[in-house]
Amino acid sequence: METLTYDLIVIGGGPAGYEAAAIGVSQGNKVLLVEKYALGGTCLNRGCIPTKCFCRSAQVADDVAAAAEFGIMLPEGARMRVDMQAVVERKNSVVSSLAEGVSMLLGGADVVAGTVRFIESHTVEIGDGRRFSAPKILIATGSESARLPIQGSDLTISSTEMLQLQSLPSSLAVIGGGVIGMEFASIFASFGADVTVVEYCKEILPPFDKDIAKRMRTALQKRGVKFHLGAEVKSVEMAEGVVKRVNFAAKGKEQSVEAETVLMAVGRRPVVPEGAAEAGISVGRRGIEVDNRFETSVAGVYAIGDCNGQCLLAHAASAQAALVMGENVDLSVIPSAVFTVPECAMVGMTEEQCKSAGISFKTGKSFFRANGKALSMGESDGLVKILTDDNGLILGCHICGPHAADLVAEAALAMSARLPASSLLSTVHAHPTLSEALTAALRALR
């Protein structure tokens, strides 16, 4: 069978894959991109974007529920109702629109649908038997939802299935207090479901600064979300009717929680193409092993994005793709965000990490309850926390509050550009804006 030759083969059409393919085309390469499901990958079709669509619907639900507080009176007897089919249809429309944009971005590349299998180190085969080779291959196969190896795990659903629900469950149990779990807990609390979170660690959002995680948990508790922390899930079983029972051990006691729907949100695991290990590509526990330039154990073969297990974020995947394709990218500063109510965002080191590493630091905090814009918005819950080193450089910025995901970008830029915190203070910020909370935290540095 004939083997077609390309300059670059990209396996996977998510943020890492389509970014790399587009750059490859702009550089004058003959590029092949192979995608198993749909262009855009998990982020566009089953992750970031669909979830943010749900977040927006949840925000509208919150606004309607609080309308009277802002002097907007609904007709007497009016009752809010969440139409899950309409929520999903809107989400699908947004995803479809963005998918068209990805297709246009890939103009000039050959795009093939199928599952890839490595035949040799630089030769791959698509499911229908066609073979392709290239001196440079980028593996960007992403990740998939993980499941606990427990009895009854088949009674739970993944985040992908949550995004396709056609009716609103009366109750939801979330196994896992990470980013995915917290976003769905926040969304469905806004929709009116009875939500309970069961988390193995002592606090939710393990990678986040403890002050931020605790404040987020407190905010969600005020909205009715219940938490069981330090809880090890043992099994899931059917209870009465359609209700499931999640059994877990916490504080030395066997406990359980019942819910109509159970979401398994315990992280994600890398997807590795078939035949990769046999072709000489080293695969470890976290994913495909790479060096600091994302090259695998096979010269000319790279692994970018979730499949290398280094940083499971869409923007990190895009940045890795750009670096591999020769662009200048600073990968030392990667912000992350949680689109809950209120939002959380972070960049850099946490206080706990600084202490563990023996790094001397100063801390500055400000609270949104003292920010005029936040008060006018009715979103005064939250704080900004900034850490700086002895030279005045920002070590980390941690935010829980309105538009945290947007606000953290200013600190990330300063960190990447190696600007001292004083440069942010000397910059005039418009009033009244949420950005003033950042400067207030800088003034409070101790």
For the segment 250-260, what is each residue's pLDDT rounded down to a tens digit?
989 999 999 99
Is a pLDDT exceeding 90 seen at residue 185?
yes
Distance in angstroms between the alpha carbons of the first and the last residue of the chain = 69
Percent of the chain scoring above 70 in pLDDT? 100
Cβ count near 389 (within 10 Å) = 16
Is a pLDDT exceeding 80 seen at residue 64?
yes
According to the model, what pLDDT value does residue 172 have? 98
Number of H helices, E strands in the chain: 13, 23
DSSP for residue 348:
E
Pair of tokens at residue 200 = 């193995």
How far apart, in whole angstroms, are the C-alpha atoms of residue 290 and residue 309? 10
- Give me the amino acid identity at 259: A
Confidence of residue 376 (pLDDT cuts 50, 70, 90): very high
Give the three-class secondary structure for 180.
helix
Ranges for all domains in the chain classified under CATH 3.50.50.60:
3-145+269-324, 153-266
Confidence of residue 76 (pLDDT cuts 50, 70, 90): confident
Q: What is the DSSP string of 186-218?
A: HHHHHTT-EEEEE-SSSSSSTTS-HHHHHHHHH
According to the model, what pLDDT value does residue 209 have? 96
Pairing mode, strands 3-5 and 131-133? parallel
Is a pLDDT exceeding 80 seen at residue 1?
no
Confidence of residue 241 (pLDDT cuts 50, 70, 90): very high
Confidence of residue 211 (pLDDT cuts 50, 70, 90): very high
Ranges for all domains in the chain classified under CATH 3.30.390.30:
342-443
User: Model pTM?
Assistant: 0.95
Q: Which long-range contacts (CB under 8 A, 24 or more apart) does 363-367 make?
A: 363/387, 363/445, 363/446, 364/388, 364/441, 364/442, 364/443, 364/444, 364/445, 364/446, 365/211, 365/441, 365/444, 366/437, 366/438, 366/440, 366/441, 366/443, 366/444, 367/437
Report the phi/psi class of residue 159: left, alpha or beta, with left for phi > 0 and alpha for psi in -120 to 50: alpha
DSSP for residue 122:
T
* Active site positions, annotated: 431
Domain 3-145+269-324 CATH (choose: 3.50.50.60, 1.20.90.10, 3.40.1550.20, 3.40.50.450): 3.50.50.60
How far apart, in whole angstroms, are the C-alpha atoms of residue 47 and residue 41? 9
Is a pLDDT exceeding 90 seen at residue 77?
no
Q: Which CATH code fits 342-443?
A: 3.30.390.30
According to the model, what pLDDT value does residue 446 have? 83
According to the model, what pLDDT value does residue 78 have? 83
When pLDDT is averaged across residues 140-153 and rounded to a whole number, the result is: 96
| Bridge partner residues of 346 (DSSP) | 336, 398
Residue 172's nearest CA partner among 155, 185, 160, 159 is: 185
How far apart, in whole angstroms, are the C-alpha atoms of residue 413 and residue 398? 14
Residue with the two structure tokens 């001292």: 420
According to the model, what pLDDT value does residue 215 have? 96
How far apart, in whole angstroms, are the C-alpha atoms of residue 308 and residue 270? 7
**CATH architecture of residue range(s) 153-266:** 3-Layer(bba) Sandwich (3.50)
Cβ count near 262 (within 10 Å) = 26
